[in-house]
Each structure stands twice: as structure tokens, then as C-alpha cells.
Structure 1
């Protein structure tokens, strides 16, 4: 009979076994197309250890190896890629006007499978439509689907949608997006997930702390520290658009007054132009931005909106002290169209000691794919754990012929 010490030793051995495997898979995910030799160098593995780990991962259908192109007379090596029969995740990007559904393997590269435009924003209709797309993908790929991850334009608390000002939703249950209760359903705010993707895959990958700000309908974002978003006590952190940086005379659809949301998007531009609130603030803002070079009124309205954006960014820099700031969505377009107003408001809003060396403010690298890619990152973070690999190995074993 095994003693407690024997069992503890066995657990430690299993942990070490999976840790080496996870390290190799993370390198493949971090640098798609990486060679086995480069992975060995990066992780400090001997040739024998690298060969043993990759062989084991190949047997578990977690990675595949193909010969790398010869560049020197040295020993040939292999390129590591996701196994064609390996784990997959489904990612959903649920936006104000439309939705997208993608599938990704362990390299984290999403392949768009289905898209659609909301015929109605009624939650039951949106959820039913998107659930159909997810169900078709799940049926197609079966047991290989290890998680479903949703980026939604909504406030998410304890993993559930509690409110969406842009979609006109209060609390909405997204559980219908999975037809298999054994498949984890992960739900995250779209701006938070876009910031996660920028910090892990974008131009600022590896920065100690990244403040990501994005403008779509309103403004959102997150602070990512050490590659992890700061979600807050209940997961609802990062609702930057509802900071009281705006006009207290304006009531936000969220129910609060003076929200920053109302000063940074197409609604603000329309107000400055004396026009009615647009049904689709993002498209409206894009149309006005296109008129800026030839239309002084559009230029002035965009300048005021860019200044409102920069004023809030300065406040967040003062409060959160990030190493770098990234601007996504329309935020960078507003800055580019009214650089003097943006820079003046940002500088004027910074505390004096920060002005000589403010954090760089850079364009986001992933564009409108940021939230979708962030959903994939979150899903793979859930799958690529010791527990996740052990579950996959057990599944492979149970499906193997006796």
C-alpha cells in the first residue's frame, strides 16, 4: 500500500511532468513557428529533455513537429505547431452592432468561422443566434473543444453579464451559449480582453504594466499587470467609461450622471455639432472623422472630443502609474485627427512631476481583433494548466482503443 509520502512524491512528479510540457506549449503559443532548438535554448533544456517533452506532447496530440528549413550545417531541428487533432477553443466577440465566432488551436490564432449583424438587440434573439453558431462549431469539433470564451460589450461581474449600456441590457444569462455543461464558459468584458491581448501579444507585450484604453460606444479598458488584468473584487473592474470625468448634467444609459463615456465617442461629437444622438455612435464618429480635413466644424467637434478623451487618460495615468498606455478602437483615430488638442489636454492633466517623463501613449496593435484575440488568450489560459493537460490526457486515454 502506498504511504502518504509515496503519494506526495507521485503528485510532485506529476506536477513536474506537466510543468515542463506547459513551458514548451507556452513557448509555441508565444512565438508561433518556433523551432524545438529555440524552445530548448529559451527554457534552458538539454537536447534530450526537449526531445522527450516534445515527443510526449506529440503522443498526446498537443503539438506536431515539422522539419525546420535548414539555415546552417548544424543539427537539423523541428518547428513546433499545434497538433491537427489537438485541443481547440471557441471565441465569441459580441459587439454593439454585430458578432463574430472563431476557433483557435493552441497557438492562439483565431480563425473566423461565422459572423452576423444583430437584427434586434433583444437579448433572447442575440443569444439564440450566437448560440446556434457556437453549437454548430461544437458539433463539428466535438471533444476537441475545451472552452468557450465570450468577449461582450457589457459589465461582467462574477463571470456574468450584469449590465450593458451599449446593448440596452440589464442582467442577462449567457449560459445558453454552451450546449455542454462540461465545457467551461468564460465571459469577459470586451475592452478588458482587448487590453489583455495587447499586453500579451501586441506591440507592448512584456511590459510590466499596461493601461489599455479603447473607444467604441463609450470608453473602456483595463490595467494589465504582469500579463493579468486587474479585475477588481468582483470582476467588474475597468469600467473607466463610468468615471465622473464628464458633464454632471448628462445622464448616462448606465444610470449614473457625468460619465466619461458621454464625452469621448460619436454621441459627444454629435452634441458638439448640434446634431441629434446617433443610433450607431461608432459609425457616426467614423463618418465625421473622415470629414475633418475639409470641414472646420467637424475639426472643432473632434478636437473637443479628443481633449475630453485625453483629460481622462491623464487622470488614469495619475491614479494607476502604468509603464505604457495603448489606445484602441476610435481612441487612436481621435488622437490622430486632433493631436494638438489631445496633447495639450493630456499634458495639462498630468501631475507636474510626471510631465518630463510621461508613459508612452501608443496605438494598439491588434485593431478591432483585440477583444476576440483576448477571448482566445483567456480560454487558453484556462486550458493550458496542469489540470487542463491532465484532463486532456485522460480524455485521450479513454478514447484510445483498448
Structure 2
């Protein structure tokens, strides 16, 4: 890292500087002119702010390669080569990934693997985070953990797919580095709202199906995740058969109507050990019985989606994970369920339903955004100026 600059924290704390940084993070490789137009800055102000941010090791300007056309290409605003980084730890039902991510979402380095579902994986992942901290030093500003489970603060209070209860993720973070923890579906929704299928809409409802249903409501780019961060557990709303017990402890959960468990039940098969793989196999099957099972799950997804639209009034609904597969495999059933679940007055002009544009990158992207939300504040820049 370059020597500490003499630039004052006060100079960094201007709203203009924060606005430019947030714009560059959300729009990688935008030019100074792009930022000026989007933020309503004069050319002089944009030049002055950019200069300060470059001096403070926050952004850089890179000339793109010449294309043979006339004129000189405009330099792109990019992450500074010695700028701040965040570490993302992504823990799904059977896999993990750790990555160092720079401003703009670029992945500098990462590792991944499989796990058995034991909470012991936390210790191994902490070792990977510690190694990145040793490698990047003070450049590493936050750790963001993304988990397939219900989260409250920095604790996974329940992850039924892994059998976790009240597992603290505090061991992941090095001393004096903030830890942000989020549910994978909620973070995927955050990314879709800011950068993906919901970008440009003020109120975005995101739904994903993996093992059960998760999601989040995002308003003005901010997730509505409740008092403790455990919001968005849409799959545990009682949209299903009350005779069915859910691993969460409730009965009749929507979770049990839309994933591989529901499709296996429709085919009179035993509960699958791996509901996601079972769902993929059934969706791919050409048999009539399999198509009917898929249609039933898609219809149940649509009904619940309609109910949530009635309650939350979004501009758009975005789908990811197996939800996009269900929509593609049985669009008529999904549409039927959605329409019948909507209040009558909404049916003439319902919120559009869009597939994810980020795909499996959604949770990792959202986790990085959540961590940069901590850095791209007055307090975060003040701390960076002293790094």
C-alpha cells in the first residue's frame, strides 16, 4: 500500500465524494462524464472530486484500449490498485466460497469447495479470511457472510438445510474489522434490485427457490429486512397444507409447496435427501407425471407471489434460483397461480415478473454490496483515511 496520504478525512466526507464512489461501485468502468451527468455535477466539481478520490487511494482512471476510431477514448473510473477491499464468505447448503472484492465488484482472488453441513466449516473459513487479511492488510475493510439460513445479527438462528441452530459467525472476522451477515436470498434480491433485473425500479420484490422460498423487499435500494435482519422469510408464510410440518417448527409453510420436496410428494416419492437436485431432475424429465408435478409447484409459487404483491405493492417481481426454472418450464401454471392470487383490481396491470440477470452470482454480488455499504459512509471513509 502507498504511504498514508495527508488528505484530511473532512475533505473525504463531502456528499459529492460519497455520491461519486457509490456511482462508480454501481457502474463499473463509467467515465467521469457519466458520473457528472448522472449526479448533476459540474465538470469542474467532478474533476476536483475525482482528483481527491485518486489521491486518497479510492479510485483510479484507466484509458480503455483504442478501437481505431477517431478521438481519444475517455478514461474509465475504476477501483484504485491499492484501494479498499471487502471479503465475502458465501455458505450454501453444500458448498462455500471466499473472495476478496474491490470497488465495482471485481473479484481479485477467491477459493471455493464443498462442505458436509457441519458448523465446523466456520473454523476452516475463518482460516481463509485470515489468510486474505495477511495478504491485503489494512486494505481489507469488512467481512460479509452470505448464508442459506435465517439470520439475526451475526448469528444463523436456523439453517434447516444444514441442520444449524444458533451458530455465531463472529469467528469469521479478524479483530477490529466489521462483520455483516445476510441471508443468501435477501442478498441476491439486493443485487438484483441495484444491478440486475430490478434496476431502475423503486420497490422490488425478489423471490428465489432453492430448498424452500426466500427473498426480500427492496425499497429505494435498501432491503427491508426487519428489526433483527431476519426478514424476508417468505417461505414460512402459511400458504401450504397445514397438515404438513416444516423443519422450521411451523405448519403449512409455503416452502413445502414449491421445491423438490413438493414435486417428489406429487410423484409419491419419499422425501429427497437433496431437494434441489431432485427438483432439477424432475423439471428435466419429459414424463407427463413430472410435468404435472412441476406445474403444481409453479402454480403454488405464482399464488404466493400474488399474495405478496397484494401485501407489499412492488413495482416489479424478480425471480432467481429454481424459481426461474419453474417459470420457464411451466409458464402457464405460474401465470395462472399469479393471476388467481392477485386482488381483482391488480389483474389488469400487475407488476411484471422478470428472471434474474445475475444468476448464481447474485448472493455474492449482494454480499459485497452490503459490505461496501459499510465502507461508503462518512465513518467508513474517515476510517480509510487513517489506514
State the TM bucket, normalised to the shorter chain. over 0.9
Deviation at 1:277, TM superposition (A): 1.0
**Residue in structure 2 matched with residue 33 of structure 1 by the alignment:** 29
Say which SS state the counterpart of residue 104 (structure 1) adopts: strand
Q: Please name the residue that 2:18 is paired with.
A: 22
Q: Which residue of 1 aligns with 2:4?
A: none
Contact 1:20 / 1:53 at 8 angstroms: preserved in 2? yes
Could you say which residue in structure 1 is the equivalent of 2:343? Answer: 351
For residue 111 of structure 1, report the CA deviation from its aligned partner. 4.8
1:53 to 32, 49, 55: 49
**More displaced, 61-70 or 306-315?**
61-70
Query: Matches of residues 139-158 of structure 1 in structure 2 within 5 Å?
Result: 139-158=134-153
Mapped partners of 1:321, 1:212: distance in 2: 12
The corresponding residue for 1:279 is: 273
Contact 1:108 1:380 in 2 (8 A): no
* CA distance in structure 2 between the aligned counterparts of 1:41 and 1:148, rounded to whole angstroms: 33
* Residue number in structure 2 paired with 1:117: 114
- What's the CA shift for 1:109? 2.8
Offset from partner CA, 1:154-179 (integer Å, 9 cap, x none): 1111332211112111100111111x
* Pairing partner for 1:316 from 292, 304, 308: 308
Match of 2:368 in 1: 376
- Deviations, residues 318-364 of structure 1 (Å, cap 9, x unaligned): 11111100111000111211122111111111111111111001101
CA distance in 2, matches of 1:69, 1:45: 27
Deviations 1:291-328 (A, max 9, x none): 1xx21111111111111111111110111111100111
Higher helix share: 1
Matches within 5 A, 1:76-115: 77-111=74-108, 113-115=110-112
Q: Could you tell which deviates more after superposition, 142-151 or 338-347?
A: 338-347
Alpha-carbon RMSD across the aligned residues, in angstroms, is 1.9
Offset at residue 69 of structure 1 (A): 6.1
Offset of 1:30 from its aligned partner? 2.0
Match for residue 246 of structure 1 among 208, 230, 240 = 240
* Match among 160, 171, 178 for residue 166 of structure 2: 171
* Aligned-partner SS, 1:96: coil
Is the CA contact 2:12–2:381 (under 8 Å) kept in the aligned structure 1?
A: no
Instruction: Give the structure with higher Rg (CA).
Output: 1
Structure 2 unaligned blocks of 5 or more: 1-7
* Higher mean displacement: 223-232 or 30-39: 30-39
Q: CA deviation at 1:143?
A: 1.0
- Secondary structure, counterpart of 1:224 in structure 2: strand
Counterparts of 2:13 and 2:370, CA distance in 1: 23
Residue number in structure 2 paired with 1:296? 288
CA 1:163–1:74 in 2, change beyond 3 Å: closer, same or farther?
Answer: same
Deviation of residue 234 (structure 1)?
2.3
TM-score normalised over the length of structure 1 = 0.90
Q: 1 CA distance for matches of 2:11 and 2:267?
A: 62
Q: What SS does the corresponding residue of 1:237 show, helix, strand or coil?
A: coil
CA distance in 1, matches of 2:170, 2:259: 31
| Distance of aligned partners of 1:56 and 1:94 in 2 relative to their CA distance in 1, 3 Å threshold | same
Partner of residue 131, structure 2:
136
Residue among 178, 187, 203 paired with 1:184: 178
Output the TM-score relative to the length of structure 2. 0.93
Whole-angstrom CA distance in 2 between matches of 1:18 and 1:389: 10
Cα distance in 1 between the residues matched to 2:123 and 2:196: 33
| Aligned residue-pair number | 379
Q: Is this contact kept in 2: 1:18–1:389, CA < 8 A?
A: no
Q: CA deviation at 1:222?
A: 0.6
